[in-house]
Structure 1
Amino acid sequence: MNIEYKTYTKRDKSDVLKMMTSFNEIYDYDFDPKIGEKNLIDFTSNEILGRLYLIKYQQSNIGYIVLSFGFSFEYEGRDAFIDEFYIKENYRNQGVGKLTMDFIELESKKLNVNAIHLEVESHNSKANKLYMSKGYKSNNRILLTKKIKTTANNSYKNK
């Protein structure tokens, strides 16, 4: 399968928002399309925040991956978090995930990223197997999250 990767452009907005909706439906995550669109515009308008790459097959978008930048003293500078990784159902289990993880590692090196982090549902055995095969390891820590309501995200819904 000849997979290509392309950096997001404004022309991709509609397709990416559809895929983001599908991504969030998989695990029944809260997703407000209006907030999603605002966040997509904010994120892709500022390269300091990271990159969104489209996964393409035969000129069609078949998925996307979001690499969000951070900074870590522990990891000696710039690190990144794979915030979202989605492949359309018809293209899963065909090696696209492995190719995309290889692509992200190469891109991260070009972007001076010293460590890549990701979060995966514990019951998603296929994703866990993929990430482990690509060298990702548990650091025996638990990711804890607290959502903060600010004026920038005042529509946050507390579940």
Structure 2
Amino acid sequence: MIRLAEKSDIDALLPLIEGYWRFEGFPNFEEARIRRNLDWLFRHRDAGEVHLALKRGQAIGYLLLVYNFSLEHAGLMADIDEFYIADAHRSKGTGAALLAAAEATARARGCRSLMLQVGQRNTRARAFYVKTGFHPRSGFELLEKEL
């Protein structure tokens, strides 16, 4: 089952988010900070939302979709900020179902495009994204600056 997460799902999301951060090698997972940020997101639905995958009532995956406006992309666009399925539930259609739900939500909101970042070494995820219609943006690379 796929549904939009609510504030009451934060405790179920935290272990999944920590699993994603571990998988990607992100440092400094701080539960209290993540909890505050999720609380903010659930109060500001115009900024984004979390799609939650459940199996027998247990959270097994999530997709964090965030929104922004772009002249270049002709209006509202969505970005998949985080996307994670617990190891035991991968390659069983959960990721495809989460992605389809997120795409439907983005379309319903009027989004013109959907973007994501994928680790250069994550060939399995890259193959999944290409299979579902994503493609590299020719001539561009991601740059980042902490503020």
Distance, in Å, in 2 between the alignment partners of 1:10 and 1:51 is: 11
Structure of higher CA gyration radius: 1
Q: CA deviation at 1:99?
A: 2.1
Q: Which has the higher contact order (CA 8 A, sep 6+)?
A: 2
Structure 2 residue aligned with 1:147 = 146
The structural deviation recorded for 1:7 is 1.3
**Identity of matched residues, %:** 25
Query: Aligned letter for 2:70?
Result: S
C-alpha distance in structure 1 between counterparts of 2:9 and 2:99, whole Å: 21
1:105 corresponds in structure 2 to 103
Q: Distance in 1 between matches of 2:98 and 2:24?
A: 21
The match for 2:132 is: 134
Aligned mate of 2:16, from 14, 19, 25: 19
Q: Distance in 2 between matches of 1:102 and 1:48?
A: 20
* Matches for 1:26-105 after TM superposition, within 5 Å: 26-30=23-27, 31-105=29-103
The residue identity in structure 2 corresponding to 1:67 is L
Partner of 1:10: 7
Distance in 2 (alpha carbons) for counterparts of 1:6 and 1:103:
8
For normalisation by structure 2, the TM-score amounts to 0.93
Q: Which moved more, 1:111-120 or 1:53-62?
A: 53-62
Measured after TM superposition, the shift of residue 98 of structure 1 is 1.8
Residue segments in structure 2 that go unaligned for 5+ positions in a row: none
How well do the aligned residues superpose, as a CA RMSD in angstroms? Answer: 1.1
Measured after TM superposition, the shift of residue 79 of structure 1 is 0.4
Deviations 1:13-64 (A, max 9, x none): 1111111111101122022111111111111110111111111122221111
Count of matched residue positions in the alignment of Structure 1 and Structure 2: 145
TM-score, length-normalised on structure 1? 0.87
Gaps in structure 1 of 5+ consecutive residues = 149-159
Q: Which region of structure 1 is more displaced relative to structure 2, 111-120 or 57-66?
A: 57-66
- What displacement does 1:12 show? 0.8
SS in 1 for 2:14: helix
Q: Which runs of 4+ in 1 moved over 4 A?
A: none
In structure 1, distance between residues paired with 2:7 and 2:105 = 21
